[in-house]
Homo-oligomer: A and B are copies of this chain.
Amino acid sequence: MNIKQVAKKARVSTATVSRIINDSSLVSPETARRVWRTIRQLNYHPDSQARSLVSGRSRILGLIISDITNPFFPELVKGFENLALQNHYEVILNNTNYDPARMATCVRRLLERRAEGVAIMTSEMDPELTDELAKRGIPIVFLDVGSVRNRISNIRVDYAQGIREAVDHLITGGHRRIGFISGPMSLKSACTRKSAFLKCWRAYGFAEDNGLIVEGNHKIDGGESAMSRLLQLKPRPTAILASNDLSAIGALGAIRLAGLRIPEDISVIGFDDIDFGQFTHPPLATIRLSRTELGGKAFNALYRILHGDSKKGEEYNVETHFVARESTGPAPQPGRQTQ
């Protein structure tokens, strides 16, 4: 079932059918109606591959993430995909599983599919691969990677704002010993978050105490073990900030396991605001980062380069904000500390 058959059945040329499919304005309403009828009748669906080939526009976007089972990503994907769908783009989703080789494979395949733009939402990116894309003029949008260049945009997450709000909240509550559970230092995004915390902490004029900073793995079990290490400290921290909610949830478990109360003995704050945070015990205070917004902005960044006036890349900003919930409270009195 191709355009020729439709043309024959409707007694017009293929060009007319093509016009009707794409831009019915240049064709008489009557023939248009007739042809549309034949199209429906024959259940004709134009071949996008052929259209892409001749038009040079694939209407495919690549979306590269590290791992869809990481609760950070599903909302991002949904936000991106919704807009893509509305604008008649297809999305090819790729999990790299933090594997550079797999990332390379994905990029090569997106190249072969002639993707019109690529959103790279994981910071572990080989610059050589970026060049591959850039050389061909394919728009790219990064997440928290600084290089805005021609046809390369970047979404910057303002971690500082949310962290400042959270630390403010803790300090107001009398906390002075704040532990930090970081993500794996092999991940650039985890480093960024840690630096943002340290910077904020120093801005308050506090000395930075490396003993209070423990590395987790951005998963629940890593948060648990990181927290149990923090609990060894004497005096132990009165509050914990975690690099993501999963780590914080692990921390909740470790604290409870040690027989301590939240927030009476220790306050805990997460990061990201994943859905589950509302349902932990106690509900987890966190720093919200809207991943839906992130996904949406990633799409828009590509769209602006593809269709906007400015072919140059732009910098986008996503805010973060503290969300108070029951996992934080005032610092315990030093004398009354148990154990």
Q: Which residues of A contact B (CB under 8 A)?
A: 43, 45-50, 52-53, 58, 67-69, 71, 73-75, 77-78, 81-82, 85, 90-95, 102, 105, 108-109, 111-114, 132, 135, 220, 249-250, 253, 256, 275-276, 278-279, 281
B249–A47 touching, CB < 8 Å: no
Enumerate chain B residues within 8 angstroms of A253, measured Cβ to Cβ: 279, 281
Q: Tell whether, in the assembled complex, residue B250 and residue A114 are in contact, meaning their CB atoms are under 8 Å apart.
A: no
Determine how close the nearest CB of chain B comes to the CB of A260; give it in whole angstroms: 14
Find A48's partner among B75, B105, B113 (CB 8 Å cutoff). Answer: B113
Q: Select the residue from A50, A113, A256 with max chain B CB neighbours within 10 A.
A: A113
Q: How far is the CA of A78 from the CA of B95 in the complex (A)?
A: 8
Return A112 CB to nearest CB of chain B, in Å: 5
CB contacts (< 8 Å) of A85 on chain B: these are 94, 102, 105
Q: Check if A48 sits within 8 Å of B93, measured CB to CB.
A: no
A94 / chain B contacts, CB cutoff of 8 Å: 81, 85
Given known A-B contacts A77-B68, A78-B69, A105-B85, A49 and B46 have beta carbons under 8 A apart: no
7 tightest A-B CB contacts, nearest first: A69-B74, A68-B74, A45-B111, A48-B112, A49-B49, A49-B52, A45-B112
Taken together as a complex, chains A and B put the C-alpha atoms of A102 and B206 apart, in Å, by 54
Chain B residues with Cβ below 8 Å from A50 are 49, 53
- List chain B residues, Cβ under 8 A from A73: 74
Contact of A90 among B68, B77, B92 (CB under 8 A): B92
- Chain B residue numbers with a CB within 8 Å of A53 are 47, 49-50, 53
The answer to whether A279 and B68 have CB atoms under 8 Å apart is no
- Once the chains bind, are B48 and A114 in contact (CB under 8 Å)? yes
Residue of B with least CB distance to A69:
B74
Closest to A93 in B: B93
Q: Are B90 and A91 in contact (CB under 8 A)?
A: no
Contact A281 B279 (CB under 8 A): no
Can you sample 23 A-B contacts with CB below 8 Å? Answer: A45-B108, A45-B111, A45-B112, A47-B53, A47-B112, A48-B112, A48-B114, A49-B52, A49-B53, A49-B113, A50-B53, A53-B53, A68-B74, A73-B74, A81-B93, A85-B102, A85-B105, A90-B109, A92-B92, A249-B279, A250-B279, A253-B279, A276-B276
